[in-house]
């Protein structure tokens, strides 16, 4: 994506299969803005490696941004569907947060008692 192409997240809607469709507006220099819809099928929201609804925007944005580095905005299809491969490539899994003492960690409770 060059610095003259802008992407804006417009919102999401439910897909027919229960998945979600995330909509983005793309505008480039000397061109009217247009919409691109990225669908995440319902099966990607269930199971062991399921994604959270909140992750859908970031994953869709990352996919779209990557596509804009490979081709011009005009060359990108107006409707895309993400796959499990896309999730593996674009998903940002946050590092496990450190637990605070008193919230389910036996070691943390011991630290609290020892540090008193």
DSSP alpha helix (H) spans, the chain:
53-70, 84-90, 106-115
Token digits of residue 82: 């993400």
Strand order across the 20-28 sheet:
5-14, 20-28, 34-40, 79-81
pTM passes above 0.85: no
Domain ranges for the chain, please list them.
Answer: 5-115
Per-residue pLDDT of the chain (116 residues; tens, 9 = 90+): 445 788 999 999 999 989 999 999 998 777 788 899 999 999 999 988 889 988 999 999 999 999 988 888 888 899 999 999 999 999 886 555 555 555 554 544 444 444 54
Token digits of residue 31: 């061109």
């Amino acid at each position: 994506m060059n610095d003259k192409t802008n992407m804006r997240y417009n919102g999401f809607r439910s897909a027919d299969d229960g998945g979600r469709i995330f909509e983005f507006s793309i505008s480039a220099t000397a061109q009217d803005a247009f919409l691109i819809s990225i669908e995440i099928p319902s099966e990607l929201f269930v199971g062991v490696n399921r994604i959270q609804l909140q992750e859908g925007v970031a994953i869709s944005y990352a996919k779209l941004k990557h596509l804009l580095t490979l081709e011009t905005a005009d060359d990108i299809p107006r409707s895309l569907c993400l796959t499990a491969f896309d999730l593996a490539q674009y998903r940002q899994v946050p590092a496990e947060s450190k637990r605070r003492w008193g919230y389910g960690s036996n070691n943390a409770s011991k630290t609290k008692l020892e540090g008193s």
